[in-house]
């Protein structure tokens, strides 16, 4: 059984960190996405070997009060997915992490589950 981590105002399955930090090899598409997550998180200064897991847990907590990205709101027969944008400044890049929160049954009073992240790198303007 996959361990569930209780964060501050959210839960996340421990196995999600395999996906976030480049360890998923289930199929070519998931492997590609997992490795992309790893690369972009590292550029944002989030490295699992130097506290990256704790930093993501902090970002997930911050995200509960971050602006919603309306175009990613997705109701399903099981609940509601709401995506929020958390700004991130790393040593190599500046960007944001989109965090997807799933509310079972669509009840916004329940504790959401983290289902996915999308690290984004902002393009730097050259003078």
* Contact in structure between 100 and 64 (CB atoms under 8 Å): no
Residue 98 pLDDT: 98
Residue 45 pLDDT: 95
Residue 28 pLDDT: 95
Range of the structural domain that residue 107 is part of: 4-121
Burial of 64 (0-12, 13-18, 19+ CB in 10 A): middle
For residue 62, give the 3-state DSSP assignment: helix
Residue 78 pLDDT: 97
Domain assignment present for residue 127? The answer is no
What residues pair up with 75 in beta bridges, in sequence order?
80
Domain assignment present for residue 126? The answer is no
Residue 126 pLDDT: 53
User: How many angstroms separate the CA atoms of 49 and 71, rounded?
Assistant: 33
Residue 2 pLDDT: 84
Q: Which residues, in sequence order, are CB contacts of 55 under 8 Å at separation 6+?
A: 46
Q: What total of structural domains would you count in the chain? A: 1
Residue 123 pLDDT: 80
Domain assignment present for residue 86? The answer is yes
Residue 48 pLDDT: 95
Domain assignment present for residue 20? The answer is yes
Domain assignment present for residue 31? The answer is yes
Residues in the chain, pLDDT under 70:
1, 125-127
């Amino acid at each position: 059984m996959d361990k569930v981590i209780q964060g501050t105002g959210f839960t996340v399955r421990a196995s999600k960190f395999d996906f976030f930090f480049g360890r998923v090899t289930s199929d070519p598409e998931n492997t590609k996405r997992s490795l992309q997550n790893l690369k972009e998180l590292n550029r944002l200064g989030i490295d699992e070997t130097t506290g990256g897991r704790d930093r993501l847990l902090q970002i997930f907590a911050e995200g509960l009060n971050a602006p919603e990205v309306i175009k990613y709101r997705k109701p399903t027969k099981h609940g509601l997915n709401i995506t929020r944008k958390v700004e991130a400044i790393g040593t190599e890049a500046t960007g944001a992490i989109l965090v997807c929160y799933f509310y079972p049954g669509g009840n916004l009073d329940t504790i959401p589950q983290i289902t996915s992240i999308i690290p984004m790198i902002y393009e730097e303007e050259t003078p």
